[in-house]
Structure formats: structure tokens, C-alpha cells
Structure 1
Amino acid sequence: MQKLVASFVATANAFDVDGALSLFAADAVIDDVSVGDAFVGTDGVRQYIERFFVGYSTKSRLLSIEEVDGCHSEVRLDFTGDFGHEIGILKIAISPDGLIERIDADLE
């Protein structure tokens, strides 16, 4: 899980949308309470990354990973960008083949 999270942070920080998308299952969901919307499938995840990472020049720094079990982790990230500064929580679920299948995101 730690390698997958590190890859997601690295690709998002590089604004490598296709690289980030390669980490997600085709039917993945990002449900972000802080923006009040869910983003479904490859097109939805692309829209989320383009809007909230590329669009706001967001840079993330990993603060912690707490593994709940082999497929679920809670990740704390420090976000900075055109919006200012926030601490975010990502509850990440991975599929049996090691891809991100769901992120429940919120801000502290």
C-alpha cells in the first residue's frame, strides 16, 4: 500500500494525469465530501485530478499511512496550492490486483 500511495503522490505532484490514472481500477470512485461530489470511473477520476490537482497547482506531502487491513488504509496528506493549505484524509481501498478502487476524501 505504501508504494501505491507514494506513486499516487508522485504522479499527482508531477501533474502526470495519465500516470496517476494508471494506479486506478477502471471503475474506481473518488468520493470527496469536501467538494460535495463523487467522481466515477476513468473519466471521473481524470476530471478530479485535472480539476483539483492540476487546476489548483496542488502539491501533496505524505504525513502518515495507517493500514486497516491488506486492502484498506487511511492516509493523511498535507496539501498546498492556489487554494492555500489544508490537511486531507484519504480512506483508500485497493482491489485484489493492487489498483485503487475507492478513495473517500475529506479535509480535517
Structure 2
Amino acid sequence: MGVKAVIAKSFERIHRSNLVGMGIIPLCFKSGEDADTLGLTSHESYIIDLPSKISEIKPGQDINVTTDTGNSFTCTLRFDTEVELAYFDHGDILPYAIRNLIKE
């Protein structure tokens, strides 16, 4: 469907985990911020400043997000474990699992 990331105030554990398993980047607004306080309408395009090397991505790090309207804000990256980063690196959980099966 083309969804690359979801930005929310918070996630239930299973929903966040499911996003990661589908290769979607889960991001949380910083405390006290949300779409309303930042003036977001959901009609913007977003540029997520994620490091290009997976080794530079750390669970829970801050990520800069910029909209095509010039609005800029910081979110918390909600990859919570190194395993989730591995899923993301492979595209999602299915290619990760298949590649591990092929190695065996």
C-alpha cells in the first residue's frame, strides 16, 4: 500500500510490533506534541531523516521529520530491539525468516 512509516502519540505493543513485522517504521511524537499541536493535516508528504546504514540506527533514537510544507519536528523511533532492526533491514519479517531458513 506504500506506507513506509506511521507517526502516532503511542502504540499498543502488539500493534507496534505488527508494523515492524510489515517493514513499517513506527515513530512517536515527543511528549506534549501531536498532529494538532504541530499543525499537521495528514495531507503533507513527510521526509524522515533515518540514517542510511542500519548500523547507525539505534532503538529509541530521535529522528527528524520534515514536511513538504516546511514544518519540522522530532519523533522517537520505536524500533525497540535489535531483532526488530534486523526485520527492518531485511524489508520485513518474511524475508528475514526465509533468509534464515536458507542459511540452515
TM over 0.5: no
**Larger CA Rg, structure 1 vs 2:** 2
Q: With a CA cutoff of 8 Å and minimum separation of 6, indicate the structure with the bigger relative contact order.
A: 2
Decide which structure has greater strand share.
1
Larger helix share, 1 or 2: 2
Q: Name the TM-score class by shorter chain.
A: 0.3 to 0.5
Query: Normalising to structure 1: TM-score of the pair?
Result: 0.33
